[in-house]
Chain A
Amino acid sequence: MKLQDEQDSRGYYRRMQSAIEELLILKGVFTGADVERQVKAMDSRDPGRGAKMVARAWVDPAYRARALENGSAAAEELGFAVGPLRLIVLEDTPRVHNVIVCTLCSCYPRMLLGLPPEWYKSRNYRSRVVREPRQVLREFGTHIPDEVEIRVHDSTADMRYMVLPLRPAGSGHLNEEQLAQLVTRDSLIGVALAGAPG
Chain B
Amino acid sequence: MGGREPVAARFAPGERVRVRRADPPGHVRTPWYCRGHAGVIERICGSFANPEELAYNRDGLPARPLYRVRFLCRELWQNYAGNAGDVVEIEIFQHWLEPA
With A86-B46, A104-B29, A131-B77 as contacts: A158 and B91 at CB distance below 8 Å: yes
- The answer to whether the Cβ of A151 comes within 8 Å of any Cβ in the partner chain is yes
Nearest CB in chain B: distance from A158 CB, A: 5
Residues of A close to B81: CB separation below 8 A: 132, 134
- The answer to whether the Cβ of A156 comes within 8 Å of any Cβ in the partner chain is yes
CA distance A78 to B3 in the complex (A): 38
Nearest CB in chain A: distance from B66 CB, A: 6
Residues of A close to B92: CB separation below 8 A: 156-157
- The answer to whether the Cβ of A149 comes within 8 Å of any Cβ in the partner chain is yes
CA distance A104 to B29 in the complex (A): 7
Nearest CB in chain A: distance from B3 CB, A: 20
Residues of B close to A184: CB separation below 8 A: none
Residues of A close to B33: CB separation below 8 A: 103, 130-131
| Interface size grouping (class) on chain B | 20 to 34
Question: Across the A-B interface, how many residue pairs have beta carbons closer than 8 Å?
Answer: 72
Nearest CB in chain A: distance from B95 CB, A: 13
Interface majority SS (helix, strand, loop, mixed), chain A: loop
Nearest CB in chain A: distance from B11 CB, A: 16
CA distance A146 to B83 in the complex (A): 6
With A103-B31, A104-B31 as contacts: A157 and B93 at CB distance below 8 Å: yes
CB <8 Å contact, A154 and B45? no
Residues of B close to A131: CB separation below 8 A: 33, 77
CB <8 Å contact, A158 and B45? yes
CB <8 Å contact, A152 and B88? yes
Residues of A close to B68: CB separation below 8 A: 159
Residues of B close to A154: CB separation below 8 A: 31, 88-91
- The answer to whether the Cβ of A139 comes within 8 Å of any Cβ in the partner chain is no
Residues of B close to A134: CB separation below 8 A: 81-82, 86
- The answer to whether the Cβ of B61 comes within 8 Å of any Cβ in the partner chain is no
- The answer to whether the Cβ of A148 comes within 8 Å of any Cβ in the partner chain is yes
- In chain A, positions 125-158 with a C-beta closer than 8 Å to chain B are 130-134, 146-158
Q: Choose among B48, B73, B83 the residue that contacts A158 (Cβ–Cβ < 8 A).
A: B48
Interface set of A (CB-CB < 8 Å, partner B): 86, 103-104, 130-134, 146-159
A-B contact pairs, 29 of them (CB 8 A): A86-B45, A86-B46, A103-B31, A104-B31, A130-B33, A130-B88, A132-B81, A134-B81, A134-B86, A149-B87, A150-B73, A150-B83, A151-B86, A151-B87, A151-B88, A153-B88, A154-B31, A154-B89, A154-B90, A154-B91, A156-B29, A157-B48, A157-B51, A157-B91, A157-B92, A157-B93, A158-B46, A158-B91, A159-B91
